[in-house]
Amino acid sequence: MLQTLEGIQNGLRLSVTTPLEEVEAAAASEDVLVLEFEAFRDGRGFSLASVLRERGYAGRLIAAGKVLPDQARHLRRSGFDAVELQPGADAAAWARMDQAFSAAYQPATEAAPTIWQRRRAASNDRDLEALAERLNREVEGKSAPEIVRAALDPALGLRVGTISSFGAESAALLHIIAKERSETPVVFLETGQHFLQTLSYRTQLTKALGLSDVRLVTPDAGEKATLDVRDDLWKTDADACCDLRKVRPLARATAGFNAIITGRKRYQASTRAALKPFEVLDGVLRINPLADWDSEDVEAWLVEHDLPRHPLVEQGYLSIGCWPCTRAVEDGEDARAGRWSGMDKVECGIHLGKRQAAA
């Protein structure tokens, strides 16, 4: 839901009449951008927001100036997090008009499932289990690229996307996918708490591999305002933090996919010991091309294809998540020992069943 904010907000303020190039240049160094509408009829702001989001701006985007409650969902779906209310504005009308429609046809920046995606999901549910079984038989003994190719076969009519943390081992899978189809959507959970090195690595790798559709998925501004206004939820409840920053956004972002390629490997965790290349989880086909790889296989692939490395690997980070919950591991320690170290937690929840989809 679009946040409604009282009073003048901090952040760089630009009129929606500012040329796109200038807005983009300014956004590159800003965490908060306030786009000011000089007339509610001037819809440039909707395109500016959409373009900024598609080109990777993950900071806060606030609409200000002359906007109407009836534009709440246009703002939200174009990528705005919040609106700065004019003095005397009726916040109730904003909330009501924001929720006037239960669904939209067309894909937009906002990740909620569209009518098209929901229709597709409804029609695809039936035979995924059988499909997974068949594909598992067909790819028996096949390589990771062959598994990816099988999943991307247009004849299957699957809507395939992938999730990547742009972490220590991510380059291998992304490289394989990019070779097969570089426009495959890649979802990156922009939790707001990544290492800076991860963010620059994401940019570097995206470019090197020619990935054309890397989607940055941020936590819902409204949820975050309720649950974690000071960005320190991780201290008291890491599960809730993962839920807010990863599980819920991912559910929204992947609602349009009925097949998701993951980089999970059997050796990584006890919960993953029986991992197959294809499996169905909550009505979505999970494709795990690297199921039988171990860390040496990944290393060999990275070396063989001369792929860029995550800058933190040199410093001893072997599995990289958000900075508050990741530490380097000692020699001989399990690679994932550095994740949620000291907590009774091995998975963030995005790869477990029964995802808590946002209502």
Say whether residue 184 binds other proteins (CB under 8 A). Answer: yes
In the sheet with 284-287, reading across from the earlier edge strand, the strands are 214-217, 186-189, 160-163, 259-261, 284-287, 278-281
Q: How far apart are CA 156 and CA 25, in angstroms?
A: 41
Measuring CA to CA, which residue among 104, 42, 116 is closest to residue 76?
104
- Residue 152 or 337 having the CB closest to other proteins: 152
- Residue 68 or 357 having the CB closest to other proteins: 68
Q: Is 287 helix (H, G, I), strand (E, B) or coil?
A: strand
CB burial readout 34-59, b (16+ within 10 A) else e: bbbbeeeeeebbbebbbbbbeebbbb
Residue 9 tokens, joined: 């907000």
Catalytic residue among 241, 242, 322, 348: 348
Among the listed residues 20, 130, 303, 352, the single contact to other proteins using CB under 8 A: 20
Say whether residue 110 binds other proteins (CB under 8 A). Answer: yes
Say whether residue 286 binds other proteins (CB under 8 A). Answer: no
Span near other proteins by CB under 8 A; candidates 34-42, 127-135, 274-282, 332-340? 34-42
Count CA atoms closer than 13 A to 98's CA, side-chain side.
21
Q: How far is the CB of 123 from other proteins (least distance, A)?
A: 6
Say whether residue 159 binds other proteins (CB under 8 A). Answer: yes
- Residue 54 or 223 having the CB closest to other proteins: 54
Is 123 buried (19+), middle (13-18) or exposed (0-12) by CB count in 10 A? exposed
Among the listed residues 8, 28, 91, 100, the single contact to other proteins using CB under 8 A: 100
In the sheet with 82-84, reading across from the earlier edge strand, the strands are 3-5, 82-84, 60-65, 32-37, 12-15
CB neighbourhood size of 210 (10 A): 10
**Is 348 a catalytic site residue?**
yes
Among the listed residues 215, 224, 246, 265, the single contact to other proteins using CB under 8 A: 215
Span near other proteins by CB under 8 A; candidates 1-9, 37-45, 170-178, 229-237? 37-45
Q: How far is the CB of 122 from other proteins (least distance, A)?
A: 10
Among the listed residues 6, 8, 10, 123, the single contact to other proteins using CB under 8 A: 123
- Residue 167 or 256 having the CB closest to other proteins: 256
Among the listed residues 83, 108, 242, 251, the single contact to other proteins using CB under 8 A: 108
Q: How many residues does the structure list for the chain?
A: 359
Q: Write out the residues near other proteins by the rule CB under 8 A.
A: 19-20, 40-44, 46-48, 50-51, 54-55, 68, 70-71, 73-78, 90, 93, 96-97, 100-110, 115-116, 118-120, 123-124, 154, 157, 159, 183-185, 212-213, 215, 256
Active site residues: 348
